[in-house]
Structure 1
């Protein structure tokens, strides 16, 4: 059975953020991830991780003004310096938290920006980030996100993500495969995971429709977990879903 990490941006939201670490441990999780740590001091988060013996699995590079709807800046030519500053900030946090993996959100491509410009900018930014992160033994992952939830998101399918990885050509750049997003965009989950398995550095889950916990939708997770095991995956799967009726009440799928 895979190792599951609680995504604290979406699970245990019944509690203040800093109390979610204890709640995750109590519920049986040994690893945590979340969107961003930057609103809190690294030392404060590190204390919670140590106190509850939790592994910090993943967080995202700074992604622009999230509250104003930005979902990443890595494909935006006019934000390159901001992106690079964000990489440096992420390194400070990752080292303090013992985190060996960070995710890059490409962002939404604005009108007037060509696919070629966005792609070139993204490749250059990924190359910079991968080079800086490898100096600290940190892996970079790039995520594909569905365009129903986030219209205009530039990286939105597995083939595109893998082509970017190939073009950048850095051994510490891999693919964050989100089962929920890719069920919406391309389906054929097992075969797609098998096809691109060598590029996958992290997995995330939610069921579809609704983005709730496994067992609430159409995805056959018992089969998929066995399939992922059979591929030899030994990493974490981030539980990035919206609980249907409270976090603890919906954890029966994991207990099974």
Structure 2
């Protein structure tokens, strides 16, 4: 073989191999990042949502979520997990490039007043929980934590209760602000959680404006607010500058979008058009059990994310 031709062909082959190698590497990187499946909005599944496919291991579930295009994860019970498990979750999510959503920051009182009462013991307990949640947030790279002010105090005027809640949240904000962390206040509907102090988005808006801190914002749970007040898009728009986080669930049933009456495609389109860059937590159950139900859930999100 002519030496010049051999060298020329060898160089071409080398270039082709380099190109193929780079292409393969880039393809693997895209698959690792989930780019081919990525949703338009940052939906966050929770522990157990895909256990039939991925098994009981939270690490395996995270990998499955990421593989299906989900770029975030939320976990109400994160604060109660062992530190070693928190660290393992954070390490895995960091490798996958996933964001951490909310966890519940404190003990919630479902049947007796705590923050609304103004009782110093309840306030101190709450603030202690907030301080400990700062460490959890740092450990798992979370920015947001859920706060529920608890039950109403039937022996106090609502205005006094409001003042008590606002004062406690101001003190909590002073704890969170230096760390760049945000507590998100979650109004809960009267049907599932009767007697709770915080139930409506305008009420949460008033509290956030009164606290006047970047560390105190709204968690707008679309399921709860459909039941409590409806008028979803106008209320989202009215509260927009104080909303830091959304949660999802269709009504009735609190299952995945497309199983109830809420037009999630329009809601997600509105949120996307408003340039929302935060997380939307999938705080709902699966309408159908087993692998079939998990697959249908993914397909439902593909459908409503296609706006």
Compute the displacement of 1:167 (Å).
1.0
Does the aligned pair in 1 maintain the 2:144–2:182 contact within 8 Å?
Answer: yes
Residues of 1 paired with 2:167 and 2:56: CA distance? 37
Does the aligned pair in 2 maintain the 1:63–1:73 contact within 8 Å?
Answer: no
Residues of 2 paired with 1:75 and 1:91: CA distance? 23
Does the aligned pair in 1 maintain the 2:130–2:172 contact within 8 Å?
Answer: yes
Structure 2 counterpart of 1:3, from 23, 42, 49: 42
Query: Which SS does the other structure have where 1:45 is aligned?
Result: helix
Is 1:62 aligned to 2:106, yes or no? yes
TM-score (norm 1): 0.89
Tell me which protein shows more helix as a share of its residues: 2
Does the aligned pair in 2 maintain the 1:209–1:217 contact within 8 Å?
Answer: yes
Greater C-alpha Rg: 2
Residues of 2 paired with 1:73 and 1:86: CA distance? 13
Tell me which protein shows more strand as a share of its residues: 1
Is 1:106 aligned to 2:149, yes or no? yes
- Partner of residue 171, structure 1: 214
Residues of 1 paired with 2:51 and 2:107: CA distance? 21
Bigger RCO (CA 8 Å, 6+ sep) = 1
TM-score (norm 2): 0.75
CA RMSD of aligned residues (A): 2.2
Deviations 1:169-212 (A, max 9, x none): 11332111111111111111111111221111111111011111
Does the aligned pair in 1 maintain the 2:113–2:152 contact within 8 Å?
Answer: no
Most deviating of 246-255 and 77-86: 246-255
Query: Which SS does the other structure have where 1:29 is aligned?
Result: coil
Gaps spanning 5+ residues in structure 2: where?
1-39
Does the aligned pair in 1 maintain the 2:256–2:287 contact within 8 Å?
Answer: yes
Gaps spanning 5+ residues in structure 1: where?
none
Deviations 1:86-124 (A, max 9, x none): 011100100111111112111111433442342222111
Alignment of 1:179-194 (within 5 A): 179-194=222-237
Matched residue count:
252
Structure 2 counterpart of 1:18, from 46, 55, 58: 58
Compute the displacement of 1:58 (Å).
1.4
Most deviating of 165-174 and 217-226: 165-174
Residues of 2 paired with 1:72 and 1:11: CA distance? 32
